[in-house]
Chain A
Amino acid sequence: MAAMSLLLRAAAAWGARRAVGGAAGGARLRWPSGAARLPGTVAPVRHSSHGKRMFIIKATSFYDSRFLNLLRFYIFLTGIPVAVFITYVNIFIGQAELAEIPEGYVPDYWEYYKHPISRWIARYLLDPPEKNYEKAMALLDVEAKKTELRLMELEARRLMRARGDGPWYHYETPDKNLTDESMKATPDN
């Protein structure tokens, strides 16, 4: 239908050129626009969807549409596989059910989570919370022992300095038998 209208429009343009050529060449009666025509002849077409073709001047949307296309592309590149995977997990594997802890059974640390992906992450990627707890306690233990020893050292230093009866603050002096007091033996030196 578009091709038909294009054809008709091209034929109309050709007919118009012929009519102009005819009018410039010689006086010739031209068919009025409202007269009946023979079949196969050209008539001005009035499809309402094809008005005069306009060249609309507006600001470029090239950069904006390029940005949005790239944004959608890179988001969906990983977004769609992740969404499909999560849908598969939720439909075919499903979430855990809450149960009472059976007698004599100690659940593993990942069995306290509900969603299968959380359980997987807790089991294979993260450390058990007991390990973190013990690590924190070990750190505290080391620091506590260091604090204790430092306080004891300060106390010992203070006491030895005050009483002077310990091995610290004990400065070696040379033997008094080594001093030569011959210069001071007589009073007139």
Chain B
Amino acid sequence: MPEDRDWEVYKAPPTRTPVLEKDTSLSNPVHLFQAAFSYVLDRPITFVREWIERQQAKNKFYYYHQQFRRVPDLSECMEGDYLCFFEAEAQWRRDRMVDQEIVAIVRERFGACQQREGPNQFQNCAKEMEQLVQVTKAYQDKYGELGAHGNARTCLMKQKHRMMEERKAQENADQ
């Protein structure tokens, strides 16, 4: 069964519904529906789920997130050292996957903020929007137009061109 997301991460602000004073003697039909839902659906399903979890708790086992050692980067490899190229390429691909996940998380945070705030989003979500703008700009600068066949070498060349243009712009600004 799919797990629920972590409720602590995107906490909705506490609701501020006022307490109603009852002025009729009729019982609220909503309580009837809630009781029906609880007895017909909620309790059996919870019972089955807890039974399943008791079976699974008898032998627990764990999984981990793999930690990879850092290896020398492509810019630190000697020319013709194909083994170094291979390891640097593998590391670059792992780093790109991590960066894609980071962008996805920041985007999700912004979406959650929008959903939570509703009409107040333009004022209250400014921090998340700023973060998203920065993160996507950084991702675009680093991995942007490398294409489907982009690898560590093309990324390094892109960085080199970026630094050259920065230097040129600085020289033009100095003059």
Q: Does A91 contact B (CB under 8 A)?
A: yes
Q: Which residues of A contact B59 (CB under 8 A)?
A: 93
Query: Closest Cβ of chain A: how far from B101's Cβ, in Å?
Result: 15
Chain A positions 138-163 with a Cβ under 8 Å from a chain B Cβ:
140-141, 143-144, 148
Q: Mark A66-109, 1 if CB is under 8 A from B, else 0.
A: 00000000000000000000000001111011111100000100
Among candidates B55, B60, B63, B86, residue contacting A111 with C-beta atoms closer than 8 Å: B63
Contact A133 B90, beta carbon cutoff 8 Å = yes
Query: Closest Cβ of chain A: how far from B25's Cβ, in Å?
Result: 48
Q: Interface residues, chain A, CB within 8 Å of chain B?
A: 91-94, 96-101, 107, 111-114, 116, 119, 133, 136-137, 140-141, 143-144, 148
18 A–B pairs (Cβ distance < 8 Å), ordered by A: A91-B55, A94-B52, A96-B61, A96-B62, A97-B62, A98-B62, A99-B62, A107-B64, A111-B62, A111-B63, A112-B63, A112-B64, A112-B65, A116-B61, A141-B82, A141-B83, A144-B83, A148-B80
Q: Does B17 contact A (CB under 8 A)?
A: no
The count of chain B contact residues (Cβ–Cβ below 8 Å) is 19
Cα separation A92 to B66 with both chains bound (whole Å): 27
Cα separation A148 to B80 with both chains bound (whole Å): 9
Contact B82 A140, beta carbon cutoff 8 Å = yes
Output the nearest chain B residue to A138 by Cβ-Cβ distance.
Answer: B83
Cα separation A137 to B71 with both chains bound (whole Å): 14
Chain B positions 46-65 with a Cβ under 8 Å from a chain A Cβ:
52-53, 55-56, 59-65
Q: Does B67 contact A (CB under 8 A)?
A: yes
Q: Which residues of B contact A144 (CB under 8 A)?
A: 80, 82-83
Contact A137 B62, beta carbon cutoff 8 Å = no
Cα separation A38 to B59 with both chains bound (whole Å): 81
Q: Which residues of B contact A94 (CB under 8 A)?
A: 52-53, 55-56
User: A140-B83, A140-B86, A144-B82 known; A96 and B55 CB under 8 Å?
Assistant: no
User: A137-B86, A141-B83, A144-B83 known; A98 and B55 CB under 8 Å?
Assistant: no
Q: Which residues of B contact A113 (CB under 8 A)?
A: 63
Contact A136 B86, beta carbon cutoff 8 Å = yes
Q: Which residues of B contact A98 (CB under 8 A)?
A: 62-65
Contact B64 A101, beta carbon cutoff 8 Å = yes
User: A133-B90, A140-B86, A143-B82 known; A112 and B66 CB under 8 Å?
Assistant: yes
Contact B63 A114, beta carbon cutoff 8 Å = yes
Q: Which residues of B contact A111 (CB under 8 A)?
A: 62-64
Query: Closest Cβ of chain A: how far from B169's Cβ, in Å?
Result: 39
Q: Which residues of B contact A133 (CB under 8 A)?
A: 90
Q: Which residues of A contact B62 (CB under 8 A)?
A: 96-99, 111
Q: Mark B30-60, 1 if CB is under 8 A from A, else 0.
A: 0000000000000000000000110110011
Output the nearest chain B residue to A109 by Cβ-Cβ distance.
Answer: B66
Query: Closest Cβ of chain A: how far from B83's Cβ, in Å?
Result: 6
Output the nearest chain B residue to A100 by Cβ-Cβ distance.
Answer: B64
Which of B56, B62, B90: most chain A CB closer than 10 A? B62
Contact B52 A137, beta carbon cutoff 8 Å = no
